[in-house]
Each structure stands twice: as C-alpha cells, then as structure tokens.
Amino acid sequence: MSTLLQVQNLSVSVGQHCLVDDISFHIDAGEVFALVGESGSGKSVTSLAIMRLLSDGLHIASGDVHLVGQSLFTLTEAQMNGVRGRRIAMVFQEPQSSLNPVHTIGRQIGEVLTLHRKRSGAELKQDIIALLEEVGIPDAEQRASWYPHQLSGGQKQRVMIAMALACEPELLIADEPTTALDVTIQKQILNLLNELRKKRQLGILLITHDMGVVAEMADRIAVMRHGQLLEQAPRDVFFSSPKHEYSRQLIHSLPRQDAFRKAIAQEETPLLEMNNVCVWFAQRKGILQRIAGYTKAVDGISLTIGHGETLALVGESGSGKSTAGRAILRLIPTTYGEVLFNGLRIDQLDESEFIDLRKRIQVIFQDPFSSMNPRMTVREIIEEGMISLNVGGNDGKWNKSEREQEIRRILQRVGLEAEHLDRFPHEFSGGQRQRIAIARAIAVKPQLIICDEPTSALDVSIRGQVLQLLQELQQEMGLSYLFITHDLSIIPHIAHRVAVMKDGKIVEQGSTQAVMQNPQHEYTQQLLSAVPMIPEHV
C-alpha cells in the first residue's frame, strides 16, 4: 500500500505553550489510523493542523505534512482550498450543528459537488441520490429534499459522511464521529465507514477516546497525551502488548465484562417501588390550547430498588430513562401509576409533605458543568441542601460550626480538601466537580440517589475513579442507586440488577449477569451486540 498522508515532526503551539509536541505518523491508503487520547490531549488540534484550519492564536511551530508526496504547508491558501473537501474531507462529532438547518440535505451535498466537481442539472441530482444511497439513506430520491430536522441523529451523520465523500477524497478525517450517537446507531455508522474504505481505498484518520471503537475499527493505533505521541502500533500488537503505562491504563479503563456483582438479599418491602408509572406530556394545539394528544415519555414502567442495591436503568437517548428518574424526584409530575418509598405512597404528596422525602432521595446529574451554580462557592453549594432540608445529627439541629465540620468531613470523604471550600466550581476539573456533586447529594444523608448518567461527561480514566467512589459510599452508608446510563460497558461493574428501557417501556429486567449474558428480549440482544469490545487477550 502506498503512503497517503505523512506527518513529520509536527508541533503546534499557542504562545509559549505547546499543544502538539513533535509528532510523526503516516496513513496508508485504505487504512484506518486511530488517534486515541483523553480530552485536551491534542488530537483535534492535530487534525485541524493537517487541514490548515487552526484558529487564530494557534500556530504551527515546526514540522511538515505531505499528502501523496506534496507538502501541504507550502501551498497557497487558494490551492489549499482545492485540497480541503476535494482531497481531504472531514466528519465532525455533532451532526446536529454541522448541517445548516435552513437548507435541504440535497442542496447541501450539491453545494460541494458544484464547487469542486462543477456538476449541475440532472447530473448533479443523480450524483446526490447515488451518494445518499451509498451511505444507506433509504428512499434517497425523496429524502434529498428533506431538511436536517426531519432526519434522525444517525441519518444526519450519514448525510455528513455523504457530503465528505462527495468529491471522492483520498483521506477522511473523522473527529469523534460516533460520540454523540447511541450504541446501535454507532454500530451502523462504524460499519458504513468500514465498507466505504474498502470500496474506495479511503484512508481514514479516526479520532476518538473510546477504546471499544478503536478495537473494532483501527488498523493502526497511536496514543496521545499532553500533545505527545506515546505509542504507535498495529492493533493486535497494541492490545496484546501495550508498551506504555498510559496505554495499559486506557485499555484497562474499560471494566471487566465478566465479573458481575451478585444480587443481594432483600427485605420484605423494597426501598423504592414503581408500579405502572406513566409520565405523559400533553401536546396542545390551536388557539384554545386544547389537548390534542400525549407524548408518552414514560409509559407504564414498574421496578423496585432494594436497600443497598444498585439498579441500572439502561436505554438509548429518548427512551425516557431520565424522565423516569425525574418523576421519582417529583421534578416532573406523574400522570398515572404509583411510586412507593419504604412502602409509603409518595407520588401524590404535596410539596410540603414531600420535603421530608427530599432528604431521603437525592440526585447526581450528568453534566458537572451545568449542575452547579457558577456564582456560588463550594461551601454554599454543599450547604444549600443541608440548610433548606434542616439536616442535623442524631438529634436534629446542627449549629454553624457543627455543620462546617460536617461539610469538611464530607468533602474529604469524596477526595477533595477542606481548603477547596471557598473556591468556585470553575476552578475544578470535571472529575472534581462530579465529586462535589456527590458531596452535595450525600450531605443530606439520603437513602436513595438517582445517578443520571454521572460519568458520561468524564474521561475514561476519571470515570473509573468516580464509579469507585460511588461504590465505596454505597458500602459505607448503605445507599441505593438508580443508575441511569446508556453506557453498557460499566454496568457489570456497578449494578446488581438491570432494567432495559425502550420507547418509555421496560423491555427486560433482571440480575446483571442474567441480562448481560443471556438477554431474552430482542432489543437487549441488539444493544449488547452493538457495544464495541476490546479483544480479551490482554
């Protein structure tokens, strides 16, 4: 195979600070080269440097990039425009924001074709339809005149790929192409990319942080950290004998899939019981705002969570799993059904009666950046719930110094230091923020914590630490978790039992081992088979 792209000693810096530090690699035609690393490691900057699309302030300090023997850094801007899109194409992470919402998809693909290949008229239309068919959009002739909002997330990503392929580029740069997608869709897109590169002898630079995707797709792998290329190896060599300590860490960041948590013996009354709970949102129409129908976000789910138990609620985006969590917290009213806490019916209590239960049921959100008021200090954040819910020691009230002591104790428990109390959330990293969010939740001494995707915004290495902390706390405080997630790989590690949700309904429920190893429902099987796996021989 011939060398398609050659990157030699590339360095990118902003001011004195080096973002990409002297990296070299090459990509052959028809090869998938994966650039792996956590956020901030310089992967995306590298790809932008290759395209010469670095934003102001960043500059290429040294090095050279050759595309089939031609140096890209010596081209004029006009010549470079002929390369971008024509010979090197790019697919981004967010298909939603990469497509222009006011133009039809046909027109957006057509724009690239007219620009670079001077197509027009019937020929143009034919090309568009052929491309859409190639990326697997059904009924392509009609869909060409659709607008982006009429397509699903996976279809939009397919359209993005069709646009990238329109000019038959030699190299495709895919920057986290599946991160925003659900696992089943991810599987489809990855398959599509694989097919295309075989058919077209396309070189693909795949940028990702997901080791599963890498294991599935890549021919060769390079690991980046702090702008440096730590290791480069063919896939099999990489997974069987990683040279660098950090590579080993990355591979092991995926918890083992064969060690399951055993279900624990339960008392008579479960901690939380949901019977046939529905959350419907009314759709209103007309001037009089009459109710025309319902969006059934949660449609009759029943589940139980025992004392000290973790129930994982799994499903793809839009399946209603977060809504179910919010319904337990009464952030959203339930339409039908009953919710029992310790045998007591709680879904019909009014706000003042419910306040007592707010101490017992707490929540940890997904995004550690938006879950804390940026204008409050850590102390204020943790203290807020304690004050408003009147949390005290064994005999009720705490005075100020006692509360202060408790806050310090909790903060240290979650792995932060007491000096951090007067800082603001923005001074912490994502993982530290999530620790603060955990501290805030356990400060009111709850029995049940609803964890709404608490680790999906975190890097893999930090994800493991946060999960570890949650488990330790479970053992110490006898907590129960409702663990809402779309990430199937962490479930064996954290959950005792699993419930799988699809379109507002629970399709399968059971012990983790049973569901993961012997899924009964078709959808569960589909989900599990879509999860990219790392080869076992590590």
Partner 1 sequence: MTFPRFSDFSMFQPMLLWSDILIFILLFSLIAFFINLSRNPVARARWRHVFTTRIGSGAFIVIVFYVLIALLDSLHFRTALPPVEGSDGAISQEADGTVHYSQDVRSVLDIILHDLDSQDEKTYSAPFALYSFAKENQESDAGYVIRAFPRLEHGGKHIVRDEEHVLDIWVKTARAIGLTILPCLLVIFLHSAWRRRKPPVEHPLPWTVIYTTLTILVLLCGWVLNLSQYYHILGTDKVGQDVLYQSIKAIRTGVLIGTLATLVTLPLAVVLGIAAGYFKGKIDDVVQYIYTTLNSIPGILLIAASVLLIDVYIETNPEQFKLISERADFKFIALCFILGVTSWTGLCRLLRAETLKLSQLEYVQAAHAFGVGDWRIIFRHILPNVNHIILIALVLDFSAFVLAEAVLSYIGVGVDPSMASWGNMINEARAELARDPVVWWSVSAAFILMFVLVLAANLFSDRVRDAFDPRSVHGRV
Contact set with partner 1 (CB under 8 A): 326, 329, 331, 351, 354-355, 358, 361-363, 365-367, 370-376, 384-385, 388-389, 424, 426, 437, 440, 444
Using alpha carbons, select from 313, 310, 257, 252 the residue that is nearest to residue 504.
313
Other Cβ atoms less than 10 A from the Cβ of 415: the count is: 16
Q: Are 172 and 205 in contact (CB under 8 A)?
A: yes
Shortest distance in whole angstroms from residue 188 CB to partner 1: 31
Least Cβ distance, residue 389 to partner 1 (angstroms): 5
Residue pair 92/189 in contact (Cβ under 8 Å)? The answer is no
How far apart are CB 102 and partner 1 at their closest, in Å? 21
Axis-axis angle for helices 121-134, 153-165 (nearest 10)? 130
- The residue (of 143 and 326) whose beta carbon lies closer to partner 1 is 326
Tell me how far, at minimum, the Cβ of 465 lies from partner 1, in Å: 21
Closer to partner 1 at the Cβ: 319 or 371? Answer: 371
Q: Is residue 133 within 8 Å of 122, Cβ to Cβ?
A: no
If the CB atoms of residues 10 and 339 are measured against partner 1, the closer one turns out to be 339
| Cβ distance to partner 1 smaller for residue 128 or 389 | 389
Query: CA torsion sign, 446 to 448 to 454 to 455?
Result: positive
Minimum separation from the CB atom of position 427 to partner 1 (A): 10
Cβ-based nearer residue to partner 1, 134 or 452: 452
**What is the rounded distance in angstroms from the CA atom of residue 419 to the CA atom of residue 425?**
13
Which residues does 386 contact at the CB level (< 8 Å), separation at least 6?
398, 403, 406, 407, 443, 444
> C-beta of 464: minimal distance to partner 1 in Å?
23
CB 172 within 8 A of CB 89: yes
- In the bound state with partner 1, the residue whose beta carbon lies nearer, of 433 and 493, is 433
Phi-psi region of 168 (alpha: psi -120 to 50; beta: other; left: phi over 0): left
Query: Concatenated DSSP letters for 205-249?
Result: EEEES-HHHHHHH-SEEEEEETTEEEEEEEHHHHHHS--SHHHHH
The minimum distance between CB 429 and partner 1, in angstroms, equals 15
Q: Is 158 or 440 the residue whose CB approaches partner 1 more closely?
A: 440
Helix, strand or coil, per DSSP, at residue 157: helix
Between 199 and 290, name the residue whose CB sits nearer to partner 1: 290
The residue among 1 and 291 lying less far from partner 1, judged by its C-beta, is: 291
Cα 317 to chain center, whole Å? Answer: 10
Among the listed residues 167, 169, 182, the one whose alpha carbon sits nearest the alpha carbon of residue 68:
169
Minimum CB distance to partner 1, residue 208 (Å): 26
Cβ at position 333, least distance to partner 1 in Å = 13
Nearer to partner 1, 68 or 355 (CB): 355
How many Å apart are CA 112 and CA 163, to the nearest integer? Answer: 7
The minimum distance between CB 151 and partner 1, in angstroms, equals 25
Task: Compare residues 156 and 360 and give the one whose CB is closer to partner 1.
Answer: 360
Burial 198-227 (b: 16+ CB within 10 A, else e): eebebbbbbbbbbbbbbbbbbbbbbbbbeb
Our CA angle for 366, 372, 375, nearest 5°, is 155
Whole-number Å distance between alpha carbons of 429 and 406:
23
> What's the closest the beta carbon of residue 71 comes to partner 1, in angstroms?
35
Q: Determine the Cα–Cα distance for residues 245 and 461; give it in Å rounded to an integer.
A: 13
What is the separation, in whole angstroms, between the first and last Cα of the chain? 29
Q: Which residue number, 336 or 424, has a Cβ lying nearer to partner 1?
A: 424
Closest CB 259 distance from partner 1, rounded Å: 32
